[in-house]
Amino acid sequence: MKHVVLTGAAGGVAGQIVPLLRGVYDPLVLSDRVKPAHLAAGERFVEADLTDPAALERLLEGAEGVIHLGGFSVEGDWETIHAANIAGCYNLFEAARRQGVQRVVFASSNHAVGFYQRRHRIRVDDRVRPDTRYGLSKAFGEALGSLYADKFGLRVFSIRIGNVADKPADLRRMSIWLHPEDLVQLIRIGLEHPAVRNEVVFGASDNARGWWDSRAAQRLGYVPRHRSEDHVAYALGEQAKLAPDPVGDVFQGGAFCAAEFSAPWPPEEGG
């Protein structure tokens, strides 16, 4: 795999992983609606809006693989989520199919399953429980990828990303943290591993307090290099600065679950 396009290049996750992907794929074409601040000399950038199917087709001409980080990366109103993450994601997969792209790595999110309680350990094939319109759009993207894999033979690798950062930012992130180097390892599995057909994996580093069964990724050779427990003092120090969140602290999705929450409390057994 040589020619790879990365969408969402101006976003925070791209800022952490693009430096690690330099020299791995050639060309690595970066794309977004706006030019990334961190564009390095000689790096190729193509402006494209996910709501513009023709621009996406031009962007993917000749590409073998796509890393689709683009879209709206937190909760938003329905119009915003629909345009960027529902229609935008559809446009991206459709352009990939029409241009004969071989593989798409889709940046899904832990918020596709955010309404599982923290006392539960979950597997990738447990049903989705989105915690927001944003999480719903990520579940849609995973299902869309599955359709394009089964119907058109596109190889699709969806990563339910936890929280990408150099260290876990608080107690919740101790369970879902994903170091940028571990994310790059997962992306490379998605783009290069011969067994990838139609996969969903959790994107987490080696988190002793994790909630997710990581065997789906491990079966494809994923061995995370970073351990959240190495940063426990920092994370708990940051947690101590936060106010308790009676709803968010119960669920894996945290504050995403608490926003707009009005269901009966406490949640019923099985909730």
Residues assigned a catalytic role = 134
Q: What is the length of the chain?
A: 271
**Nearest approach, Cβ of 183 to ligand 15L (angstroms)?**
12
Please give the structure tokens belonging to residue 12.
Answer: 């925070």
Question: Rounded to an integer, what is the distance from CA 175 to the centroid of its chain?
Answer: 16
Q: How many CA atoms lie less than 13 Å away from 199 in the CB half-sphere? A: 26
How far are the Cα atoms of 2, 17, 18, 143 from residue 150, in angstroms, in the given order? 24, 29, 30, 11
Tell me the closest approach of the beta carbon of residue 3 to ligand 15L, in angstroms: 27
Question: Which helix (H) or strand (E) element contains residue 33?
Answer: none
Among 73, 137, 185, 207, binds ligand 15L (CB under 6 A): 73
Q: How far apart are CA 202 and CA 186, in angstroms?
A: 10
Q: In this chain, which of 31, 110, 185, 214 binds ligand 15L, going by CB under 6 A?
A: 110
Under rule CB under 6 A, residue 85 binds ligand 15L: no
- The DSSP code for 116 is S
163 binds ligand 15L (CB under 6 A): yes
Our finding on whether 74 is near ligand 15L (CB under 6 A) is yes
Question: Per-residue x/- marks for ligand 15L, 237-256, CB under 6 A?
Answer: --------------------
CB of 98 vs ligand 15L, minimal distance in Å? 28
Query: Taking CB under 6 A as the rule, does residue 111 contact ligand 15L?
Result: yes
Written as one letter, the residue type at 71 is G
Taking the C-alpha atoms of residue 156 and residue 264, their distance in angstroms, rounded to an integer, is 38
- Name the segment binding ligand 15L (CB under 6 A); options: 30-38, 55-63, 84-92, 106-114: 106-114
Contact residues toward ligand 15L (CB under 6 A) are: 73-74, 109-111, 163
